[in-house]
Amino acid sequence: MGMAAADLQFHVLAVDDSLIDRKLIERLFKISSCQVTTVDSGSKALEFLGLQEEHDEQNHPCVSPSNQQEVEINLIITDYCMPGMTGYDLLKKIKESASLRNIPVVIMSSENVPSRISRCLEEGAEEFFLKPVRLSDVNKLKPHMMKTKCKSPKQQQQQQEAEIIVTQDNQESIGTTYVVTSQQNQESIDTTYVVPSQENQDSDNIVQQQKSQDNKRKSIEENLSPDRTRQRLSSLTTV
pLDDT tens per residue, range 115-158: 999 999 999 999 999 999 999 999 999 999 998 875 545 555 55
Angle between helices 87-96 and 114-123 (to 10 degrees): 20
The strand pair at 61-65 and 127-130 is best described as unpaired
Cα dihedral 151/87/37/105 (nearest 10): -30
Q: Using one digit for the tens of pLDDT, what is the confidence trace for 41-50? A: 999 999 999 9
Of 20-34, 56-70, 206-220, highest mean pLDDT? 20-34
Find out whether 117 and 127 touch, Cβ atoms under 8 Å. no
Q: Which of 2-16, 98-112, 198-212 has the lowest mean pLDDT?
A: 198-212
Q: CA angle, 38 as apex, 37 and 44 as ends, to 5°?
A: 105
69 against 90, higher pLDDT: 90
> Which region, left, alpha or beta, applies to residue 132 given φ > 0 means left and ψ of -120 to 50 means alpha?
beta
User: Under 8 Å CB-to-CB from 38, ≥6 apart: which residues?
Assistant: 13, 14, 15, 16, 22, 25, 26
> If pLDDT is split at 50, 70 and 90, which confidence band does 176 have?
very low
Q: Does the pTM of the predicted model rise above 0.95?
A: no
Which residues lie below 8 Å from residue 123, measured CB to CB, with a gap of 6+?
88, 91, 92, 95
Task: Kindly indicate the confidence band of residue 59, based on its pLDDT and cuts at 50, 70 and 90.
Answer: very low
Q: Residue 220: in which H helix or E strand, if any?
A: helix 153-223
pLDDT tens-digit map of 79-88:
999 999 999 9
Average pLDDT along the chain: 74
The CA distance from 26 to 87, in Å, is: 18
Amino acid identity, position 99 = S
Strand partners, 61: 55
Q: How much is the pLDDT for 224? A: 54
* pLDDT at res. 147: 87
Between residues 32 and 159, the one the model is more confident about: 32
61 prior amide bond cis, ω within 30: no
Q: How confident is the model at residue 71 (pLDDT cuts 50, 70, 90)?
A: confident
